[in-house]
Amino acid sequence: MRIIKVSDYKQMSQRAAEHVIGKVRSSDCVTIGLATGGTPEGLYKELIEDHQMNGTSYRCVKSFNLDEYIGLSKEDTNSYFQYMCSNLFSHIDISLDHTYIPSGMADDIQKECDRYENLIEEAGGIDLQILGIGANGHIGFNEPGTSFHSGTHTVELTASTREANARYFSSLDEVPRQAVTMGISTIMKSREILLLVSGKSKQEAMKKLVENEVSEQFPASILKNHPNVTIIADSEALELI
Ligand code: GLP
């Protein structure tokens, strides 16, 4: 894992954007794995600004999101579909037909998980996966204890993850208890991974990621076994290392 230390959130977002833009411009057809949460919002802002100023085109880009809440429809303002539209898709020239997010409303969720996993394979896999990290080491919605062999699957969200995400909802009660997420093995099949880490709330996670052994109790630790991982972290997140 290569760690790039930057001064703050803004710089993290800019460095990440340079990386993504470089990838998008380097090839006709790139498949990008996208993350949600607060961490990549700055990156998406930078991508939009670059698209408007420099014309970087996403017409040939395919995207696969990491996860979606179960029970939230595409129209729900808290669905990750809405998050992606308002934070990125509506502001760049990506075709919505090329953007994929698992459905949290499927009647048969297992079938939906299998369909999503197949879609990624049919697209030829993910060239660049963007990740954030949960304070408990989760990536996507793969909570501690998730098998490293997991493909796209359903998860029960932990109390701490629901609490951390409650800021987007009007009350904790409204935060869904389950989600569909790419599995650890799905994420690990990506050819390249870019992990973004910012702020005090991620200090402990960052310390564990760097210092601890690879363990299913800390999902992000598996990234140590991937051949092409870049972490862009700000100085606050790296303070305990
Ligand atoms: C959420 C998302 C993850 C994200 C993580 C951290 O639960 N499913 O993809 O990386 O939490 O979120 P944040 O960036 O808001 O700290």
Nearest CA among 66, 54, 65 for reference residue 21: 54
Find out whether the beta carbon of 134 lies less than 6 Å from any atom of ligand 1: yes
CATH of the domain at 80: 3.40.50.1360
Ligand 1: residue of 165, 194, 206 to mutate (most ligand atoms within 8 A of CB) is 165
Contacts of 35 by beta carbon, 8 Å cutoff, 6+ apart: 65, 66, 130, 131, 132, 140, 196
Percent above pLDDT 70 for the chain: 100
What average pLDDT does range 39-66 have in this prediction?
98
Ligand 1 centre to CA of 220 (Å) is: 12
Q: Does some domain include residue 86? A: yes
What is the position in ligand 1's atom list of the atom closest to the CA of 161?
7
How much is the pLDDT for 184?
98
How much is the pLDDT for 101?
98
Tell me: pLDDT of 28 over 80.
no
Tell me: pLDDT of 154 over 80.
yes
Q: Does some domain include residue 43? A: yes
Q: Does some domain include residue 240? A: no
* 72 band by pLDDT with thresholds 50, 70 and 90: very high
The mean of the pLDDT values for the chain is: 97
CB neighbour burial string for 86-106, b if at least 16 within 10 angstroms, e if fewer: ebbbebbebeeebbbbbbbbe
Helix, strand, or coil (residue 238): coil
* 121 band by pLDDT with thresholds 50, 70 and 90: very high
At residue 80, φ and ψ (nearest 5 deg) are -70, -20
Total count of domains within the chain: 1
Q: What is the rounded distance in angstroms from the CA atom of residue 188 to the CA atom of residue 225?
A: 9
Find out whether the beta carbon of 142 lies less than 6 Å from any atom of ligand 1: no
Cβ atoms within 10 Å, residue 219: 26
Q: Does some domain include residue 239? A: no
Find out whether the beta carbon of 38 lies less than 6 Å from any atom of ligand 1: yes
Strands 178-181 and 153-156: antiparallel
Parent domain of 174: 2-234
Ligand 1: residue of 34, 36, 142, 198 to mutate (most ligand atoms within 8 A of CB) is 36
Cβ atoms within 10 Å, residue 28: 8
Q: Does some domain include residue 41? A: yes
How much is the pLDDT for 27?
83
ipTM score of the complex? 0.96
Find out whether the beta carbon of 66 lies less than 6 Å from any atom of ligand 1: yes
Q: Does some domain include residue 165? A: yes
Q: Which are the catalytic amino acids?
A: 67, 136, 138, 143
Q: Does some domain include residue 177? A: yes
Measure the N-to-C terminal CA separation of the chain; round to a whole number of Å: 15
Counted residue by residue, the chain has a size of: 241
Q: What is the rounded distance in angstroms from the CA atom of residue 234 to the CA atom of residue 238?
A: 6
How much is the pLDDT for 7?
98
